[in-house]
Structure 1
Amino acid sequence: MEFSFNRESMTEALQRIVGAAEKRLTMPILGNVRIRPVAEGIQLDTTDLELAWTATTPGEAAEGLDSTVSVRKLLDVVRAAPADATVTARVDGERLTVGFGSSRFSLATLPGQDFPELESLAIEEWLTVPQRLLRRLVEATMFSMAQQDVRYYLQGLLLVVDGSTLRAVATDGHRLALNEADLESPAVSAQECIIPRKTVQELRRNLLEDETPVRVGFGAGQIAFDFGGARLTSKVIDGRFPDYERVIPQDQPAQLVSEREDLRQALNRVAIVASDKYRGVRLMATGDGCRVVTHNTEREEAEESFPAQYQGEPVEIGFNLTYLVDVLGAIGSDQVRIELRDGNSSALILAEPPDRARYVVMPMRL
């Protein structure tokens, strides 16, 4: 059975869906893409049984075609074709032959009928948001997701729809990131779900930095993101996310305002001798100035002063250096404001002037 397609269109489709393919190959077919004809051209499917991509690309395919082949090998082959080339392929038994110009490739296949499908549940409500908006919410929060935590519900991103507000929240128990934006049209009903880490990474990889719309669909145990020519569907994490509003400090008496880049560079410099295990840094703020100090088990030390405006009682507080650097990387403004209470209380970090993103970092004993 034969099919043909444009090199550029197929490359774009495969690049979008390749991330869902299972790399560990617990089931060999999970590393494959399923290829079938549809009215719009050729349908491509990948899945790891937790999330799934479906994409459609222009092309011609014989009726009855239903086969799978390694998505990464097929992508590499198609990429190798000349720009704007029309590529032809033929499935014959257990082999897929791909050709263009004088080049021919023979790849192993598995039957499309054996390809597992993620159970498709009914989507209860769709929202349409600009990709730029959703991308900003994801980028501003995803770094705070937990990694390999027994509290599986922390290993994802909480997405909340509340009236006209779309909110993203992530925490690993030591830090928290929250950002929100307004929807053009209020949602019909409130929605809340925890999106798994891999799905968040796939979403971030595919969202554009423009006003192109993406449809977000909520269903029982699933969430979907429809990009038009492709749809990402994922299971959601079944768990109760912590009450994040309770941990956001209120009415902090001390405030430190500095250039974001000055603070970031100061932290990066002292990080040279920071302990690889604890990554601790001590921030000292007084009316006379601010500085960061760190040391390691070999009694090496680093100290850096940076320009800042500080209002409040003198404070000395320890932080995980990486947590502070991550927050500074997510903030888009030139200045940053750190609100403090004392050396034993969490800090609230904001852009200056403030936007709707809020970051909480717990103190660290040094």
Structure 2
Amino acid sequence: MKLTIERATLLKALGHVQAVVEKRNTIPILSNVLISAGPDGASFAATDLDIEILETTDASCEGEGLVTAPAHTLYDITRKLPDGADVTLEMTGGDPRLTLKAGRSNFSLPCLPPGDFPVMPTEDLEHRFSVPASELARVIDKTRFAISTEETRYYLNGIHLHAAEHDGRKTLRAVATDGVRLALAEIDLPDGADGMPGVIVPRKTVQEVRRLLEDADDDVEVSVSEGKIRFRLGRAVLTSKLIDGAFPDYERVIPRGNTRVMSVENKRFAEAVDRVATISVEKSRSVKLSLGQDTLTLAVNNPESGQAEEELAVSYSDESFAIGFNARYMLDVASQIEGDEARFHFADAASPALVTDSGDEDALYVLMPLRV
């Protein structure tokens, strides 16, 4: 088996697939990428047994065959080759090593039997639909920061993707929560998504899909079943197992009757929160928000580091009150606000706040308060 491929093409394919390979593996073959050569070009595949990424590329192939090679090593070598180089990958019969040549560079890499490479079982993914790459990236970006990292609550370790309907409008909705904050974003329901099961897409899968979206311009084909989800982005295909669990009834925690509304210039608000949080207690990162007539005062009182206070002009006409939030969580939300203004909807100091975006009606955020 011998194939010749342009360095940039090889680097792009390896960059996509090697990202799924864990740095340390107890199963040696999972550290390798499976390379396939044939008359239609070459393909590269990697898996961690939960996620599989396959990318096909144009290549000049002499003979057909399969070979595996260390994924991260092969990627690092390719990354360091000069731009525009033609890379030749060759494996001769009986030799368990892959030869890589580019210009005057020559590498010999150990291989493992391609027959040992695990292939994710195929199943009928009965629900299929297409989503513009930009829209899929948008709902991921607006929700993934709220994914829980607490492994004991495994059912929160991903994005809940499902069909929803409100006010007569059908949407494809993404929701993530870690119990103290919630993020929701949605788009018009694509054709074919009606009736799809509600699924929980794992955190790592979300990260890898978002990485692939950086090189995607066209629509993304999504296929879903009860146990798996597949994303087809151009010539790359990512297939993943889903989290087997029930996502909580998040609708119950979204405030519906918060009548105290504060509008604030988002950029100035984020900068002020970041400044006063410099001396906040590292564990809670709590910042006190005191609201008065068209005035917001941000304050931090840390017995060890000192005090900080900053006043902002806002639009607020309800009665005065104070509430506390985690600074990092407020900044995470602020980073996703597209419009000039963020709108905070309050009930009282002990109830969750609803945050909406003046520039995006299809996204909302919920923040649980802290005692300050």
- TM-score, structure 2 normalization: 0.94
Deviations 1:304-327 (A, max 9, x none): 111211121211111111110100
Counterparts in 2 of 1:91-240, with a 5 A limit?
91-92=91-92, 93-162=95-164, 164-185=170-191, 187-208=193-214, 212-240=218-246
Following superposition, the deviation at residue 105 of structure 1 comes to 1.0
Count of matched residue positions in the alignment of Structure 1 and Structure 2: 366
Give the residue type in structure 2 aligned to 1:226.
R
Given the alignment of the two structures, is residue 14 of structure 1 paired with residue 14 of structure 2, yes or no?
Answer: yes
What is the aligned partner in structure 2 of residue 75 from structure 1? 75
Tell me the SS of whatever aligns to 1:357.
Answer: strand
Verify the 8 A CA contact 2:38 2:65 in the aligned structure 1: no
Structure 1 residue 161, shift from structure 2 partner: 2.5
When the two chains are superposed, the root-mean-square deviation of aligned CA atoms in Å is 1.7
Say yes or no: does 1:327 pair with 2:338.
Answer: no
- The amino acid that maps onto 2:79 is R
Preserved contact between residue 199 and residue 226 of structure 2 (Cα < 8 Å): no
Check the 8 A contact 1:346/1:362 in 2, yes or no.
yes
CA distance, structure 2, for counterparts of residue 289 and residue 109 of structure 1: 66
Deviations along 1:188-207, one digit per CA (max 9) or x if unpaired, are 42331000000001111111
Q: In the aligned structure 1, how far is the partner of 2:209 from the partner of 2:197?
A: 18
Q: Mark the CA change 1:245 to 1:5 in structure 2 (over 3 Å): closer, same or farther.
A: same
Query: Which position in structure 2 is the counterpart of 1:60?
Result: 60
The answer to whether the 8 A contact 1:131-1:209 is kept is: no
1:298 correspondence with 2:300: no
Q: Which region of structure 1 is more displaced relative to structure 2, 6-15 or 60-69?
A: 60-69
Q: Partner of 1:305: helix, strand, or coil?
A: strand
Q: Which amino acid aligns with 1:216?
A: V
Offset of residue 238 of structure 1: 0.6
Superposed displacement of residue 111, structure 1:
1.2
Would you say the 8 A contact 1:278–1:320 is kept in 2? yes
Q: Distance in 2 between matches of 1:247 and 1:108?
A: 54
Aligned residue number for residue 263 of structure 1? 269
| CA distance in 2 between partners of 1:196 and 1:184 (Å) | 22
Alignment partner of 2:362 out of 352, 356, 359: 356
Task: Classify the secondary structure of the residue corresponding to 2:172.
Answer: strand
Q: Tell me if structure 2 keeps the 8 A contact 1:122–1:220.
A: no
Distance verdict in 2 for CA 1:353–1:80, change over 3 Å? closer
| Secondary structure in structure 2 of the residue aligned to 1:132 | helix
Structure 2 unaligned residues grouped into runs of 5+: none
Alpha-carbon deviation of 1:39?
A: 4.3
Q: How many Å apart are 1:88 and its aligned residue?
A: 1.1
Q: How far 1:245 sits from its partner (Å)?
A: 1.1
Q: By how many angstroms is 1:118 displaced?
A: 2.0
Give deviations 1:285-341, integer Å, cap 9, x for gaps: 011511111122416111111121112121111111111010001111111100001
Q: Which 4+ residue blocks in structure 1 deviate beyond 6 angstroms?
A: none
2: CA distance, partners of 1:299 / 1:15: 44
Structure 2 partner of 1:88: 88
Cα distance, 1:211 vs structure 2:
5.2
Name the aligned partner's letter for residue 65 of structure 2: L
- Aligned residues of 2:163 and 2:189 also touching (Cα < 8 A): no
CA distance 1:281–1:149, shift in 2 (3 Å): farther
Post-superposition CA distance 1:20-68 (Å, at most 9, x none): 1122212222121001124421111100111010111111334452211
Q: 2:27 maps to which residue? A: 27
Question: Would the aligned equivalents of 1:338 and 1:350 in 2 still touch at CA under 8 Å?
Answer: yes
> Residue 133 of structure 2 contacts residue 218 of structure 2 at CA under 8 Å; is this kept in 1?
yes
Contact 1:66 1:112 (8 Å CA) reproduced: yes
How much has 1:148 moved relative to structure 2?
2.6
Identity %: 39
Distance change (3 Å), C-alpha of 1:135 and 1:105: same
TM-aligned CA deviation for residue 18 of structure 1: 1.6
Asked if 1 retains the 8 angstrom alpha-carbon contact of 2:197 and 2:226, the reply is no
Return closer, same or farther for 1:25/1:232 CA change in 2, 3 Å cut-off: same
Letter in 2 for 1:86: D
Distance in 2 between residues matched to 1:84 and 1:183, nearest whole Å: 43
C-alpha contact 1:40 1:56 (8 A) present in aligned 2: no
Q: Tell me, yes or no, if the aligned pair for 2:21 and 2:48 is still in contact at 8 Å.
A: yes
Greater displacement, 47-56 / 204-213:
204-213
- Looking at structure 2, the residues matched to 211 and 61 of structure 1 have their Cα atoms a distance apart, in angstroms, of 28
